[in-house]
Amino acid sequence: MVLRQQKKRIALVHPRGSNWFPGRRDITDIANRMVPQGMLSIAAWLMREGHDVFVYDCLGPGAPVDIDRQARDILAFDPKVVGFSATTSSFPDAADLAKKIKDSRPDIVTVCGGVHVSALREKLLADYPAFDYLAAGEGELTLGELAAGVDPSEITGLIRRENGVAVANPPRKHIPDLDSLSFPAYEKLCGFPRDYHLPLFSYIRIPGATMITSRGCMYQCSYCDRSVFQKGFRYNSAAYIYEHMKYLRDRFGVRHVNIYDDLFTANRKRIVELCEKLARFPLGVNFNCAVRVGYTDDELLGMLKAAGCLMVSLGIESADPDMLARHKSGVSLDDVRDTVRRIQAAKLRAKGLFMMGLPGETEASIKQTSDFIISLGLDDMNMAKFTPFPGAPLWSTIHGEGTFKEDWRLMNCLNFVFVPRGIESKEKLDHLYNEYVKRFYSDPAWRRRFRGRIWEHRHSLLYLLRHLPSFWSAKNQFEPE
């Protein structure tokens, strides 16, 4: 392998995608503008290698919705390489942008990565000629070698064309030591952190930011696409996480961090070490994290509280035991009740994560889940609309489980593209979703808890008032007919 190291101008693009209801204004970037964490990690790697990197977030503040204007913005940087990081719903936008860029500048090298690419691989390259390459799996080293001039046939993880036919090189091995990566290049985002908003009422201090401190998962839930990081569990050390939080505070003034790990507490030793350091040397930063039922105990919860944790999320999905056994093994309703009780006993907030419309769902199972949600006395709740993804275990059987409309632009967990056999229609599923989401936020016990925290949530309320017309429009989506 011969490197022809040369500084290149590289644009990394986070395509917008279709993130709201079809035919209505997309307000998701107002309600919760997420940092493209993986792309910023790739940007930091390329910068460390000496390249000039431009990050273009099509969902960022001030970014145009019009794809022609997006293409002009990217071309104005005069890049030699343009890399896209796409989900299933944003992949069509990435493909359209790549075509416009190639039509204008055929010499620019275009490459796309992300979960959708990692799941569908060679077929995508064959169907989308505007991409010169696809990058499957982790992207840092793959993009780094491509930018350095390594022969594409020798770059593991790369999907390329050979004599006009799409072929995949051997898979890229995982980065064994995540501490070897630089902190994500947050500074490349226009408006960070002020204009990148965490979900309303999930924080009490501003500004906020996000972090991911691990990759991979030991479990394989039926609905989860693990095409990029796959099985296994790699993680940053406690020392690295502490320094990452300190960096966000010192450089950007961040005062709250949402940690989006699926298994944040799976390695108890690192979390104990992190909490002890945060308690001894406080950063003045709150954080939220997620835990899996069975990976918490009273001592650890107390340590999380002392370290500055505000809210803990639990993936629950359904209250139907048969649905749980099929889709999320190893989780029992009794354990969920006990975990929520212990989280709140430690003076932490408990948030439940649920999913409606999985294969096997019926009106009775949806009602059972809604009743369970109310009985838990949660501080917050999120109900995702089940979306089949190409890399998930149930993808191969999904067409036999109900009605599936495979429209990539709508496959974003905000639209029902799949209707299980036990539900009469998509309209019925939408109605049930709206009814039961509204039921949670109308519950008198939840409203009493919320009123008691009005002052704590003054920053969210002020933000809500500033954008009231948009949020009022969103609220109307959850009004049952």
pLDDT at position 278 is 98
Condensed to tens digits (0 to 9), the pLDDT of residues 91-126 reads 999 999 999 999 999 999 999 999 999 999 999 999
User: The CATH number of 198-469 is which of 3.30.565.10, 3.20.20.70, 2.40.50.100, 3.40.50.261?
Assistant: 3.20.20.70
**Pairing outcome for strands 165-168 and 158-162:** antiparallel
pLDDT at position 1 is 43
Q: How far is CA 288 from CA 49, 131, 201, 208, 349, in A?
A: 33, 38, 12, 11, 9
Task: Name the DSSP class of 3.
Answer: -
Residue 469, strand partner residues: none
Q: Reduce the DSSP state of residue 339 to 3 states and report it.
A: helix
| Whole-angstrom distance, CA of residue 60 vs CA of residue 386 | 26
Q: Could you say which residues of the chain have pLDDT below 70?
A: 1-5, 19-28, 229-230, 473-481
CB under 8 Å to 98, separation ≥6 — which residues? 82, 84, 110, 112, 128, 130, 131
**Pairing outcome for strands 256-259 and 208-211:** parallel
pLDDT at position 232 is 78
Q: Reduce the DSSP state of residue 280 to 3 states and report it.
A: helix
Condensed to tens digits (0 to 9), the pLDDT of residues 64-92 reads 999 999 999 999 999 999 999 999 999 99
Structure tokens at 305: 């509280």
Residue 11, strand partner residues: 54, 82
Cβ–Cβ under 8 Å, residues 339 and 290: no
**Pairing outcome for strands 234-235 and 214-215:** antiparallel
Q: How far is CA 121 from CA 55, 125, 198, 227, 228, in A?
A: 24, 7, 32, 10, 11
Domain boundaries, the chain: 9-168, 198-469
Q: Which pTM does this prediction carry?
A: 0.94
pLDDT at position 174 is 94
pLDDT at position 476 is 63
- For domain 9-168, give the CATH number: 3.40.50.280
pLDDT at position 217 is 85
Q: If residue 311 lies in a helix (H) or strand (E), which one and from where to where? A: strand 309-317
